[in-house]
Structure 1
Amino acid sequence: MTSSSLSYPEPDSDGKGPNSGELMTASAALERVAQRFDAAGGLGLMVIDGSFIDAIERKNGHEARRDALNALGRLVQQVAADKLHECDLVMTAEAGRNEIWVAFLNWVDDASILRHEIPSFEKALAQLIHKNAGKAFYPHLRRAPKVEMGFEVCFRNPRFSAETQLYRAVEQAREDVQHNIAQRARERRRRFQEIVLDRNVYSVYEPIVEVDTHVVFAYESLVRGPENSEFHSPIHLFGAADEYDMVFELDCQSRASGLRGAVDFPKGTKLFLNILPTAFHDPNFRAERLIETLAKCQLLPTDVVFEISEQESIENFSVFKESRDYYRSLGFQFALDDTGSGYAGLEALLEISPDFIKMDRAFVSGVDEDFARQDLLSALLTVAEKMGAKVIGEGLDRPEELEMLSKLGIHYGQGWLFGHPTPLRPRE
């Protein structure tokens, strides 16, 4: 089988041929498909949904949309050349739709098309997209897009025109796409709910080091979902929690996990514990219960720093500051994370008045080679010292960056230069 026999029109059909780099359009292929449909008595039609291309066009224009659709078409062709018959056909949908259609025209009057051909084609295409998306859709996408497929089997009914039946088959296949999207979304939601119900999260700890002495000053607790799952990354974990309105519950579990993993915590070091502003509404976060939990870990309030991201919205700073002052009176400290990464940075910095200011890695990475970054960190250090706060540079990867932080007078550093986040003890 060859991809050209699967994918391209005759040279005189619409001016495109095997060297054009573009697929046959559905309108150009209609007569050919209808003839085969009449002769065989049936066909299978797959719709490959390229909705992700909509965002590419909105951001980068119609030429980027064309390139992305052609790239998707080439991936489909590549699978078709290996999996389909010579009479089968790959084509683009009508104008304005980011879809690829595959007509299975090698009609055999049994269910093998549903049992074998379709599942084999879908699996191979999904694997190819996952493997090659970074290259195929460069520079528009950084990761493999979600590409859904729908399918319809259509038996020829002479009461209707072949064209009418074909377009009905397309609509049915599109409905199948939407059904598959909804089904996968339900399954994903259930998987996430199981994680939350089972409290199946754990914590790893990243060292925060004194810049001048290289002594570990603290550890930041970072939550992780189940290993080898789609929710392992905290970005995906909290992204799903936000999507399913379960952020509060996940935040509670993350704090609990951070404390569980801190049993036998190294003496003389601080524990940075990420919290959301809503944490103050958690019954387990009330002072008496929290201090009781800390005691089980042999920790005191003075050992704990509550870390709040600049990117988190604090709806009422007055209420927040009341809670902050109360917990400070007990010995807890506060850190502002991701400083400089959001729009509300200066307001959050002034209103929260943190004990530690963590500069986002965007301002630390390459600081040894960038005078602007050096000036910015120096200016922030001046502000921090007037506030009585210490500065932590995040995202350190190279010794040269650490050396520059030392020259600038930055107090602490954090990053993979000091090792990747790991559990403090073996997981049970």
Structure 2
Amino acid sequence: MTKRMAITQKLSAIPQYLQHINGRLHNEVKELRRLSALLDIMNHGRLDTFFQPILQLRSGLTMGHEVLNRPPNSTQFPTTEHFYEFAGRTDQMFRFEHYCRRISLSRYMERLPEGGAKTDTLVFINVHPGVLNDVRHKSGETLSLLQELNLSPERVVFELTERQAVQDYVGFEKVLSHYREQGFRIAVDDAGSGYNSLKTLVYLKPEFIKLDKSLIRGIHGNREQQELLELISEYAYRSATRVIAEGIETEEELLYLQMAGIEFGQGYALGRPGHRPVRGAFPADSPQVPVRGGYKHVSSDR
């Protein structure tokens, strides 16, 4: 290869190199804008908080609420999933989780209906597993907040999602034992959506299993989903774990879950997220029929 040819090849690669650099700069500017938006949300309290009821599927009583914090609509975060995915991989994750926990519990107590503070309903708050095990986390910090709010730790459930996978199960179980000794309870979210959730159930022994909406969607007509539900239900029964079905949107799904003996449920058919933690309810046109030990609601076309 002549010297001229070598120089020509290097020169021809310059546009591709400049395009690569430009792409990197574009991505870095995009990330900086997202980080700036995240900091603005935390600094100015721009998260909006909603509460979705969780019902006992036999009686229709509201046993608790899940707290859902949502970011404002923006070009930086087109969906809530984009927002939490970004927050979870930044160096602001610990601060963000601390902020979310405080506003979740504070707004829950502020917005309870009159007399609601005297009930024993539970409040489920989403927690990143990495934060509970973070060296920056101060022991007793959440308990101090609860004392300020006059809220018992026995009413608080830390909801862990499998999308934020646990790496050291044995060590993390010790961390959870510390929280349990203080009165808190643990729920594993998204159960049934992947291998990690099954591994999490075995190692962490949660008080609640929240079945992923992908398992519940159309379950009344899908044998494979029904079989997986049976397996998880059997495991829950043997390990004294309570089951909560998420994403119930139709009367048919509700009916099947009731007949399958699932204890608790959550979803649009039972109550949409609202700005106040109000009671949920079965669909209005679902009549009651007696069953052993109580009543169940069934859809009117069955």
Task: Using structure 1 for the length normalisation, give the TM-score.
Answer: 0.55
Taking a change above 3 Å as real, the CA distance of residues 260 and 346 of structure 1, as seen in their structure-2 partners, is: same
Taking a change above 3 Å as real, the CA distance of residues 296 and 182 of structure 1, as seen in their structure-2 partners, is: closer
Partner of 1:48: none
Report % sequence identity. Answer: 26
Partner of 1:419: 271
Alpha-carbon distance in 2 for matches of 1:171, 1:408: 60
Taking a change above 3 Å as real, the CA distance of residues 337 and 192 of structure 1, as seen in their structure-2 partners, is: same
Question: What secondary structure sits across from 1:262 in the alignment?
Answer: helix
Partner of 1:245: 91
2:123–2:156 CA contact under 8 A, matched in 1: yes
TM superposition shift of 1:272: 0.6
Taking a change above 3 Å as real, the CA distance of residues 295 and 284 of structure 1, as seen in their structure-2 partners, is: farther
2:48–2:70 CA contact under 8 A, matched in 1: yes
2:34–2:77 CA contact under 8 A, matched in 1: no
Alpha-carbon distance in 2 for matches of 1:375, 1:368: 11
Question: What secondary structure sits across from 1:337 in the alignment?
Answer: strand
Alpha-carbon distance in 2 for matches of 1:284, 1:329: 17
Deviations 1:33-68 (A, max 9, x none): xxxxxxxxxxxxxxxxxxxxxxxxxxxxxxxxxxxx
Partner of 2:262: 410
More moved, 178-187 vs 329-338: 178-187
2:131–2:137 CA contact under 8 A, matched in 1: no
Partner of 1:203: 49
Max radius of gyration: which structure? 1
Aligned pair partner of 2:202 in 343, 350, 354: 350
Unpaired segments ≥5 residues, structure 2: 1-11, 278-302
C-alpha RMSD over aligned residues: 2.8
TM superposition shift of 1:411: 0.4
Amino acid of the residue matched to residue 406 of structure 1?
Answer: Q
**1:241-390 superposed matches below 5 A:** 241-264=87-110, 265=112, 266=116, 267-280=119-132, 281=134, 286-287=139-140, 289-390=141-242
Partner of 2:72: 226
TM superposition shift of 1:332: 1.1
TM superposition shift of 1:384: 0.2
TM superposition shift of 1:201: 2.3
Amino acid of the residue matched to residue 233 of structure 2?
Answer: L
1:279–1:285 CA contact under 8 A, matched in 2: no
Amino acid of the residue matched to residue 139 of structure 2?
Answer: R
Structure holding more helix per residue: 1
Amino acid of the residue matched to residue 224 of structure 1?
Answer: R
TM superposition shift of 1:284: 6.4
TM superposition shift of 1:273: 1.1
Alpha-carbon distance in 2 for matches of 1:318, 1:211: 34
Higher relative contact order (CA 8 A, sep 6+): 2
TM superposition shift of 1:363: 0.9
Amino acid of the residue matched to residue 66 of structure 2?
Answer: E
Alpha-carbon distance in 1 for matches of 2:21, 2:224: 54
TM superposition shift of 1:317: 1.9
Alpha-carbon distance in 2 for matches of 1:183, 1:323: 38
TM superposition shift of 1:271: 0.3
Question: What secondary structure sits across from 2:109 in the alignment?
Answer: coil
Taking a change above 3 Å as real, the CA distance of residues 413 and 235 of structure 1, as seen in their structure-2 partners, is: same
Partner of 2:81: 235
Amino acid of the residue matched to residue 259 of structure 1?
Answer: L
Unpaired segments ≥5 residues, structure 1: 1-166
Q: Aligned residues, how many?
A: 258
Asked whether 1:194 is paired with 2:40, we answer yes
Amino acid of the residue matched to residue 226 of structure 1?
Answer: P
Amino acid of the residue matched to residue 191 of structure 1?
Answer: A
1:364–1:396 CA contact under 8 A, matched in 2: yes
